[in-house]
Structure 1
Amino acid sequence: MKGIGEMLNVENMVVSYGNIRAVREVSLTVGDGEFVVLIGNNGAGKTSTLKAICGVNSPSGGTVNLNGENITGKPSHKIAAKRVAMVPEGRRVFAGMTVRENLDMGAFLRRDKKSIENDRETVYELFPVLRERFRQPAGTLSGGEQQMLAIGRALMAQPQYLLLDEPSLGLAPIMVESIFEKIVQINRQGISLLMVEQNAFLALSVANRGYVMDSGEIVLAGTAEELLENDMVKRVYLGMEEAEES
C-alpha cells in the first residue's frame, strides 16, 4: 500500500430494509491498488453492501472509512466526489443519450474540460467500440457494449475505488472474457476494485483477495488462491466440475 490511510475500510456494517436485516455486521477492506471480490449466492447481501458503501443506501449500523475519513451515510454524490464510483448491476446506461453523453455524465462533478477530454480518450482506447459508436444512443448497443459504457462512465469520475456489481450478468461467455480482461487492465492502472460477481471461479481467478457472503454475513475470507482451494467454496460456489478443474 502507498500509505497507511490509503484504504476503504468497512466495519460492522448493518443494512436493514424495514424489519429485514440484509447485511449483518459485515467488515471488509480494500487496500490501495487491490482487487477484492465479494462472492455469494443471490440474496446474500452483496449488492446491499456495495450500495451502502457508495451512499445509495444508508447503513443502519457500522462505519465506512475512506482513507481514514468516516463517510458513513453521506449522500452518494459526496462520496462520488471523494473518488468512489460504482458500476451498477444491469448497466443502467441512459438509453436515450448517446455514448459520448453517457460518458460525460460520469464527469458531471468535474469542471476541468481538458482533463475530461483526455479521460474520454483514455476510455476510447480501453474500449475502442465506444469510439466507433460515440454518436449512437446507448439503448441501441449490445449488452456487452452497454457494460463497457457503464464501466467507461464510471472511469470518467477518475475513481480511486471502483465498485462493480455483477459485470458478467447476462453476457455471452466470449464477452465476459473480454470485459474481465479490461477490468484487470483497469486494476493494473492503479485503481482499487471491489467487485461483486456470481461467477466465483472467474472472479477468484483475477482477484487478489476475496470474501464469501451468506445470509448477510461474511462467512469466509482469504486470498483468491486460498478460496479457490477451500472445500466449502469448491462445493457451494464452484460446483463439482469446476472444483475438479481448479
Structure 2
Amino acid sequence: MNRIKQKIQEDKKLLSIYFSAGFPTLNDTVTIIQDLEKNGVDFIEIGLPFSDPLADGPTIQESSTIALKNGMTTETLFSQLKDIRKTVHIPLIIMGYFNPMLQYGVEAFCATCAEIGIDGLIIPDLPLDVFEREYKAIFEKHGLLNIFLITPQTSDERIKQIDAASDGFIYMVSSAGVTGSQSGFGNTQEDYFSRIKKMNLKNPQVVGFGIKDAETFKQATKSTKGAIIGSAFIKHLHKEGIKGISGFIKSVR
C-alpha cells in the first residue's frame, strides 16, 4: 500500500512539514528529511524550487530563490534522494509547479519518483481536468498519488469532483491568500472548516497555510486529519539552521 494511505489510517493528528529542497544550503536536503523523521514528523513535502512560484508567499519564495542560486535543479534533487529509502520510512511528497516536471518529461519524472520512493505529488497549477485526461494513467502506473488543493472559494461541486478524483488526502488551503500570510484562524476559516466537515468527503483533509505553532496546529486539526507547516518552519531554519529542527517540532507537538 502507498505510504500516504497507510499513514492516514493511523489514529492520530498528522503533522506534515514543507521545506524548499536545497535550502539553506544545497546539500541540506537529506539531513533535513532525516531529522524531521527522527523528531516525529508524519510526512514531508519537499519543495521543488521554481523561478515563478505563484502560490507561495515571500518566505517560501525567498527560500526557493536561494535554493536555485545554490544550484538546485530537478536532476540534483533526484540525485540527492536516490538512497533516501535506506534511512527514511515516512511518506515523502514532492510539491512543485508543473513547468519543471513538463521540461523533465512527465513520464520520466514519475518513473524517477517511483524509483526513489516518492509517494505523491502536489502540483498547484495542474488543473484537475487536464490531469485526468492526460496524466492520471501515468501517475497510477508509477504508484504516485496526486494531491489536489481546495480553498474557501472552491464550490461544493468542485470539491466533490476533487474528492472523487483523489485517493489519499485533500490539501485544504485555509485561506485564499498566499502561503505564510496569516496569523491564526478567524471566523471565516472556522466556518470553512465546519462546511467541509459537514460534506463527509471520502478523503481526509490536511490543512495548509497559516499553521505555525501548537495553537494553530490544534485549531487546524480540530475537524481535520492533519496540518502542514511551511513558512514558519523555513523561517526557523533560516534563523536557527538544521540544529533547531528538534526544538521547532517539539514546540508544535
The answer, yes or no, to whether TM exceeds 0.5 is: no
The structure with more strand, counted as a fraction of residues: 1
The structure with more helix, counted as a fraction of residues: 2
If asked which structure has higher relative contact order (CA below 8 Å, sep 6+), I would say 1
TM range (shorter): 0.3 to 0.5
Please give the TM-score of this superposition, normalised by the length of structure 2. Answer: 0.37
Higher CA-based Rg: 1
Please give the TM-score of this superposition, normalised by the length of structure 1. Answer: 0.38
